């Protein structure tokens, strides 16, 4: 299998010049090729690189290339100056990884965000995690991807939910366990 790497010469130096260049490119894939080439350029400031990462992640997201978008946002978080910038980038990366069905990577992003956060921000991160996981699990379940949805529900049941939410997640878990033939896990969950 051959893979080609399209490299575009990047002459632009500022965010404004890059925005102007992107606006002149018609297709999303060509924009991605341009931004990937720009990201490889070594003489950009971190401000320009953060901008490129954000644009690239958005384009990957639009193309449903969620894992690549998550990796780019994780890299962007490493370039952020402020704690809030790092936390926001890690949460966005976790969202992309969740949409890709990559629970382990999403967990890692939430853990990294938590390391950067104070106690108030940690509660915001926990709420974002619950919301992202619930939405992804629900979407996966609707698409018939119960095994992947199960991973998100298993993570959700371990979070700090209120009783109504916990009961709803437990019922969903039981239903999926039975549907997938995981009767031992269902029996264990019923005992909780």
Give the residue-averaged pLDDT of 137-146: 91
3-state secondary structure labels for all residues of 69-137: HHHHHHHHHHHCCCHHHHHHHHHHHHHHHHHCCCHHHHHHHHHHHHHHCCHHHHHHHHHHHHHHHHHHH
Residue 143, domain member (yes or no): yes
pLDDT, residue 7, reads: 64
Give the pLDDT band of residue 82 (cuts 50, 70, 90). very high
Is it the case that residue 20 has pLDDT exceeding 60?
yes
Is it the case that residue 72 has pLDDT exceeding 90?
yes
Domain that holds residue 149: 19-190
Residue 106, domain member (yes or no): yes
Residue 65, domain member (yes or no): yes
Residue 6, domain member (yes or no): no
* pLDDT, tens only, 160-174: 888 898 899 999 999
Percent of the chain surpassing pLDDT 90: 73
Give the pLDDT band of residue 24 (cuts 50, 70, 90). very high
- For the chain, the domain total comes to 1
Tell me which H or E stretch contains 66.
Answer: helix 66-79
Give the pLDDT band of residue 191 (cuts 50, 70, 90). confident
CA distance 191 to 35: 52
Residue 8, domain member (yes or no): no
Residue 104, domain member (yes or no): yes
Nearest to 68 by CA among 103, 100, 91: 100
Q: How far is CA 117 from CA 38, 102, 114, 159, in A?
A: 31, 23, 5, 18
Residue with tokens 């193309």, as numbered in its chain = 63
Q: What pTM does this model have?
A: 0.88
Q: CATH number of the domain that 131 lies in?
A: 1.25.40
Residue 7, domain member (yes or no): no
Residue 107, domain member (yes or no): yes
CA distance 109 to 35: 23
Residue with tokens 């974002």, as numbered in its chain = 128
pLDDT, residue 192, reads: 65
Structure tokens at 131: 């919301």
Give the residue-averaged pLDDT of 10-15: 88
């Amino acid at each position: 299998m051959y893979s080609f790497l399209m490299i575009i010469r990047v002459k632009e130096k500022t965010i404004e010049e890059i925005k102007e260049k992107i606006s002149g490119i018609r297709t999303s894939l060509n924009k991605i090729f341009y931004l990937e080439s720009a990201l490889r350029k070594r003489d950009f400031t971190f401000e320009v690189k953060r901008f490129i990462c954000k644009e690239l992640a958005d384009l990957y997201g639009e193309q449903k290339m969620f894992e690549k978008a998550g990796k780019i946002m994780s890299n962007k978080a490493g370039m952020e100056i402020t704690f809030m910038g790092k936390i926001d980038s890690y949460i966005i990366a976790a969202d992309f990884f969740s949409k890709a069905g990559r629970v382990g990577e999403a967990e890692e992003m939430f853990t990294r965000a938590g390391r950067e956060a104070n106690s108030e921000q940690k509660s915001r991160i926990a709420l974002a995690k619950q919301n992202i996981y619930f939405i992804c699990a629900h979407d996966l379940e609707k698409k018939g991807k119960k095994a992947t949805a199960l991973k998100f529900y298993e993570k959700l049941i371990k979070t700090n939910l209120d009783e109504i939410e916990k009961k709803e997640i437990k019922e969903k878990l039981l239903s999926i366990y039975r549907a997938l033939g995981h009767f031992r896990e269902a029996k264990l969950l019923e005992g909780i």
